[in-house]
Structure 1
């Protein structure tokens, strides 16, 4: 018996063009993003693609069947420590489950580039998507295929997709309470990047917690996550003998502050106590070892991967729940009671 070689024909570019009322060339331009298309025309084409189950190529069509064993990860700044550690933990968790990772970078929050271009998502061989950080334009620029499993660790998307987030608020309260419990009258703050949601959460919590205790919060220094910004703030902090305790929004800024204090002859923790955030590996080896708030990046990566893979295996989207990952205060040598005057 001769085996039939007839294959079931899927929807074609012409089918999409007819349904959307446009030319095949217009469908191609929407699919590749090679040329601009009017927004209403583009939306008609995308709607027709979704209705017909059309994807721009056979590889992307297999996305619906979960055959690629690859997960897409969107992040904005791969060089930032928090995002790097989160992505590393996701990579490890995916490797344990036999999946590879495809990285997509959202370059700048103000960029006009839309993250929902078919060439960015629909045309990629991924079975699901994890959004680590997509920038300030996330709401106007991000739209993913409805059937694509998604998990997020970007707090701006909490309530829209299932999310896994560290307990920024509790971690900041623990940092402030630790310093006050040692006898410091107030706690100063070096804030993270001004466009970062975690930085805003940490600063707001520091400010509001001091207010709740009847302590007027001092003016914070604006950092940008780098050791250099902590060092620059440290030039002012070192010249003020009344400052005895500083909560830094991340460990790297704390390292910069420690150096600045050392150069001005002020000792840590005898003259100034310092708490960081993240508990990166170098924090244990600074001089002195840094008291810090530990984020459980490995657990965060495992949970993000678990949520996405469960959706892939069940074929059902997950509700927009929030899974908080507890932080932990790690007390080391950079904090002590204030020196008696």
Structure 2
């Protein structure tokens, strides 16, 4: 799933392209919205709330989408060829006189009254990129379940919205905390949350997910994506653990429908960063897999020396 700063950048680019433009055509390729038509409505703004995208149009309607793991929005000039994937993966098309916005593989597509947006985002905790960010509330939300693992709690969008695997992994490293430490045992919980929020904001401002200060390939992160390699701080082998965790609320789950249309390829303005290049590498004996059932695949990288504390037992045999 993309990090909150990636979704924020997507919203900003969609907003710059569509705000103030009148929709000449809309095409919803999901069964529940097959007859919906936004033609003639003006786009008022596009904003992010956590990892949710809200596109508001006049007449009091909001198009709510969520990228999850595979979704993306692309921008094209009218008449150019589309290249975001096969046509059957298209879920939404919004056409103005100067831009065409195409949503591919979007698992969540809702059209609802703007006044009712809380139905889809009201469950979210403080937004790390929101104007209403509240550190004290985020910390209080975390401490509401002191026995929960800090690495899992940081991914729960109901606790605080916008953190993903990169930022929670790096924040735990910089705090010197094992990701499996119970929340109530984290020595400086406000400091950890403050650092995580600052990293996300820096990523949103600079457009790069860098935590070390170096944007050179292989040097962007302290432990994320570095399994099997020496820790940049102490030289200990960075370890990796594959684990299934359940952090999503029901409103963030969905199944993409299928639709068909003519295939288009060519030049594009892609408004989502490629997440694939951030995947953790395998690391031989540094690689452990634990399946606790349900939820999303999560890969946790950590330095056993710099991050002392509990670690799940690998499966027997």
Bigger share in strand: 2
Bigger-Rg structure (1/2): 1
